[in-house]
């Protein structure tokens, strides 16, 4: 579904992404693991078009989208939940969810309330301002807002970062449900290794802008891998 070939992304003259390629299949979860500053966020921003790789191509459902703007990539079904969530603090939960419809292919006036089956906590908070929610609730809102647009691919940048354990469990349950439904592929960037390992079909280890290991995320998480990611 998503094919990235040989991305090279720079900040000024700093060469950050050094030839990254990835292939995400429909309905699967691909986990990108890596320590701080390795280029994970830079990669996701390059996929959604917020950064322009100097080299490389990107295809989505067979279509070359290398020259597509960010809004066009959202419209064809690529949703992005940035690190630190970035919901609108001054808008209500309801208004935040309505904004998610901008990416919806049919632009309906209302969002599908089945989103509250995944995130029941949001249903009781519709009138509250996003800014008064806890960090974990904001993360849930950010994911819900992305889902309201009916994406085919969901990019999640460290959804467990700074989130309390009980809500991490809720988020994991949501991702399991999405995986079971099978209608959305997920590219999951994480430093919480066990969380990503449990959920992912394939894993990619990112070090200094390169994938230095990749494979099926099966069985127990490899201890050598663990050491490499926590060193």
Ligand X SMILES: Nc1ncnc2c1ncn2[C@@H]1O[C@H](COP(=O)(O)OP(=O)(O)OP(=O)(O)O)[C@@H](O)[C@H]1O
Angle made by CA atoms 141, 89, 91, in degrees to the nearest 5: 85
CA nearest to 110, candidates 126, 124, 128, 125: 126
Q: Which residue has the tokens 């078009």?
A: 49
Task: Give the shortest CB-63-to-ligand X separation in angstroms.
Answer: 26
- CA dist 115 and 46 (Å) reads 28
Q: Which segment (32-40, 46-54, 59-67, 173-181) binds Mg ion by CB under 5 A?
A: 32-40
Q: Is residue 37 part of the contact set for ligand X (CB under 6 A)?
A: yes
Q: Is residue 11 part of the contact set for ligand X (CB under 6 A)?
A: yes
Task: Give the shortest CB-189-to-Mg ion separation in angstroms.
Answer: 7
Total binding residues toward ligand X, as defined by CB under 6 A: 13
Among 9, 41, 140, 160, binds Mg ion (CB under 5 A): 41
Task: Give the shortest CB-38-to-ligand X separation in angstroms.
Answer: 4
Q: Are 89 and 131 in contact (CB under 8 A)?
A: yes
Q: Is residue 215 part of the contact set for ligand X (CB under 6 A)?
A: no
* 39 three-class SS: coil
Site string (52-91) toward ligand X, x via CB under 6 A: -------------------------------x--------
Judged by beta carbon, residue 39 or residue 185, the one nearer ligand X is: 39
Angle between helices 135-148 and 165-181 (to 10 degrees): 20
Q: Which residue has the tokens 């006036």?
A: 109
Q: Are 85 and 138 in contact (CB under 8 A)?
A: yes
> Using CB under 5 A as the criterion, which residues of the chain lie in contact with Mg ion when the complex forms?
40-41, 83
Q: Give the residues lining the site for ligand X (CB under 6 A).
A: 11, 14, 16, 34, 36-42, 83, 191
């Amino acid at each position: 579904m998503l094919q990235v070939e040989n991305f090279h992304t720079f900040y000024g003259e700093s060469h950050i992404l050094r030839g990254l390629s990835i292939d995400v299949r429909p309905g699967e979860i691909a986990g990108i693991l890596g320590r701080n500053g390795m280029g994970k966020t830079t990669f996701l921003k390059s996929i959604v078009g917020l950064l322009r790789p100097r080299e490389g191509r990107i295809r989505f459902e067979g279509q070359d989208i290398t020259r597509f703007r960010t809004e066009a990539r959202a419209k064809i079904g690529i949703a992005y939940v940035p690190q630190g969530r970035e919901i609108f603090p001054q808008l209500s939960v309801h208004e935040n969810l309505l904004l998610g419809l901008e990416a919806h292919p049919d632009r309906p006036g209302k969002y599908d309330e089945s989103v509250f089956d995944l995130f029941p906590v949001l249903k009781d908070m519709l009138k509250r301002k996003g800014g008064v929610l806890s960090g974990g609730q904001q993360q849930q809102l950010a994911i819900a807002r992305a889902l309201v647009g009916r994406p085919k691919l969901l990019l999640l940048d460290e959804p467990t970062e700074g989130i309390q354990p009980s809500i991490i469990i809720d988020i994991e349950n949501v991702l399991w449900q999405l995986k079971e439904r099978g209608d959305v592929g997920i590219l999951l960037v994480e430093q919480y290794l066990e969380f990503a390992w449990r959920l992912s079909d394939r894993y990619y280890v990112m070090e200094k802008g390169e994938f230095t290991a990749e494979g099926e995320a099966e069985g127990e998480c490899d201890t050598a891998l663990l050491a490499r990611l926590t060193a």
